[in-house]
Amino acid sequence: MSMQTQHIQPVADERQVIRRIAIGDRDALAELYACYQRTLFNYLLQLTPDHGLAEEILQDTLVAVWKSAQSFEGRSSVRTWLIGIARRQAHNTLRQRRLPLADETEMEGLVATDPEPEAWTLASFARDELAAAFRQLAALHREVLVLTFVQELSYQETATILEVPVGTVKSRLSNARRALRAQLDGREEANP
Amino acid sequence: MTYQLSHYDEHILDLLPAYLNGRLDITNIERVRAHLARCEACRRELSSWQAVQGTAQAVVAFAPLPSLNIMNQVLAKIDTQEVQAQQRKRRSISRDAAHLWLVFKRQIPLIHKSIWIAAVGVNILMLALIAFSRPDVRHHLQNVETVLAFFSTVTAATGIAFIYQAEQDAGYEIILATPTSIRIIMICRMVLVIGFNLLLTAITSGIIAFTLGGNLWDFVQLWLGPMLLLASISLTVSVTLGSVFGVAASLIIEVIQAIFSSAERTAPVLQFLRMNIGQTTPFTLILAFILLAFAIYYAPRQPRLSNS
């Protein structure tokens, strides 16, 4: 089996691959990486803007997967488990280097129960404006948006990864959207 | 129906992100759809979330991929860490050995001095008894053997009874305050005291064998098994009841053996005991080993040791 086909084909049974990693199969680790490199790297880039540092954390994540595959019990999906490991590695590294952590200064608001006013809608903004505003968001907010809309995880899975209650995931999502809107307003004031 | 209406009219804002990413259960999907059909404000909310979703996906789609050599670097890291783990393991084994040797050495000054003095004294006494006894008694080898077996065994057993006792032990408080295992300390002390007694008695046996003539092993096998057995009995009784009881038990056993040794011809049970316990046989050695194992296992559990 060549490496190319492994890149294209998804892992047939992810749990089986984890079991193979647990008994020391290095090819299984390479297969898992081929499937999840984009997922993990995209996620890590939300936590740190430093490309090199993100790669380093990605390596540490795979080493941690290699070491802890035996303890994987299948209570969560492989995707959730991997992103959770990546998050812990990122936090350890950022803490060691005294870089800002995603959840340092969070003001968790309540989930809005009433819709925002009509003029507030984000749908009227151009794509590149939105993208630029998204890049300016706090890591905490980018993280929850990527987990929900790119990784398409459930609230429960996101809560597991972030180690917070489900209610916090919901409120963090609505805070992230409000922060995006605030970024756009700030831009409008700067460039009227 | 009224309930249904009000239920469907409640805004469903917190469900919208999950509705968009396809992770909502069927009941909630229907609820969201029914609400959106009648609520303009929530439709606007949905389009806002769609804008957020599109933005997140677009930003990530343009994100760079990691370098191609990540996997090689990961395997190199794994190799390095495995080598380091092996080195750490090897280092910890040699550290444990060094620690054990240190604990062993430190027991020498901590064991009560009278144990050493008594062992030396008894061996000198044995030699003196044999040297100054009447020639006809001395040349009757059975008498010499009795003296040797009796004294050496009792000395070792008495010494062992005192190796682990709070009231006899100067370093007792230090032992309690350190993480060093009580079992390790007991084994070290036992090896020291029994080893010392074995060495002294072997030297004495050698002198006797050399001066009176005879096979060294014939002398050694008379006391080796009994010494180990009695020492183990002594240690077991000493850790369970106290060192005085340990000494008493070993003395009583020796005296009983001495008293009844003349009657053994008429009593088959005593003859069996003398043949099997009074000499070095596999039976004595195994019994001694079992008793030692018990004493070492039991000692750290003994409540009296913690003075509670």
DSSP per position, chain A: --HHHHHHSPPS-HHHHHHHHHTT-HHHHHHHHHHHHHHHHHHHHHH-S-HHHHHHHHHHHHHHHHHHGGG--SSS-HHHHHHHHHHHHHHHHHHHTTPPPTTSS----PPP-SPPPGGG-STTS-HHHHHHHHHTS-HHHHHHHHHHHTS---HHHHHHHHTS-HHHHHHHHHHHHHHHHHHHHHHHHH--
Residue A151's pLDDT is 95
Q: By the CB < 8 Å criterion, does A127 face chain B? A: yes
Residues of A whose CB is below 8 A from B77: 59-60, 63
> Within an 8 Å CB–CB cutoff, is residue A192 touching chain B?
no
Which positions in chain B touch A111 (Cβ < 8 Å)?
A: 13-14
Among B26, B74, B80, which would you mutate to test the A interface (most chain A Cβ atoms within 10 Å of its Cβ)?
B74
Of the partner residues A30, A60, A177, the one whose CB lies closest to the CB of residue B52? A177
Report yes or no: A148 at the B interface, CB cutoff 8 Å.
yes
Which residue's structure tokens are 């802890």? A68
Q: Would you tell me how many other CB atoms lie within 10 Å of the CB of residue B74? A: 22
Shortest Cα distance from A81 to chain B (angstroms)? 18
Kindly report whether the global pTM for this prediction surpasses the value 0.80.
Answer: no
What is the per-residue pLDDT for A180? 92
Q: Look at residue B3 in the predicted model and tell me its pLDDT.
A: 40
Say whether B53 and A173 touch across the interface (CB within 8 A). no
Contact B18 A155 (CB under 8 A): yes
CB A166 within 8 A of CB A155: yes
- Nearest chain B residue (CA) to A37: B66
- Residue B170 has a pLDDT of 58
B44 contact residues in A (CB cutoff 8 A): 115-116, 118, 121, 123
The confidence score (pLDDT) of residue B265 equals 47
The answer to whether A123 contacts B66, with C-beta atoms less than 8 Å apart, is no
Q: Closest partner residue to B45 among A29, A116, A134, by Cβ?
A: A116
First and final C-alpha spacing in chain B: 74
Radius of gyration of chain A (CA): 19
With CB atoms and an 8 Å threshold, state whether A122 touches B18: no
Distance CA B231, CA B253 (A): 11
What element of type H or E holds B223? helix B216-240
Contacts of A121 in chain B (CB under 8 A): 44, 47-48, 51
Q: Is A119 on the interface with B (CB under 8 A)?
A: no
Q: Are the Cβ atoms of A149 and B57 closer than 8 angstroms?
A: yes
Q: Which of B51, B250, B285, B260 has the alpha carbon at shortest distance from B162?
A: B250
Asked whether the beta carbons of B119 and B113 are under 8 A apart, the reply is no
Instruction: Compute mean pLDDT per 10 residues along chain A, 192 residues long, and list them.
Output: 40 82 94 94 93 95 94 90 95 86 55 70 88 92 95 95 92 92 78 54
For residues A84 and A61, give the distance between their C-alpha atoms in angstroms, rounded to a whole number.
10
User: Which of A41, A131, A145 is nearest residue B65 as measured by Cβ atoms?
Assistant: A41
pLDDT at B7: 52
Q: Would you give per-residue pLDDT tens digits along chain B (308 residues)?
A: 334 444 556 778 899 999 999 999 999 999 999 999 999 999 999 999 999 999 999 999 988 999 999 999 999 999 999 999 999 999 988 888 888 888 888 888 877 777 888 888 888 888 887 777 766 655 566 666 677 777 777 777 777 777 765 555 656 666 666 667 777 777 788 888 888 888 888 888 888 778 777 777 777 777 788 788 888 888 888 777 777 777 777 777 777 766 665 554 445 554 555 555 556 677 778 888 888 888 777 766 544 444 43
Residues 1-30 of A with CB under 8 A from B: 26, 29-30
What lies within 8 Å, CB to CB, of B73 at 6+ separation is A59
Q: Do A155 and B11 touch (CB under 8 A)?
A: no
List, in order, residues 6 or more apart from B134 with CB less than 8 Å away: none
Cβ distance B52 to A120 less than 8 Å, yes or no, reads no
Rounded to a whole number of angstroms, the distance from the CA of A187 to the nearest CA of chain B is 17
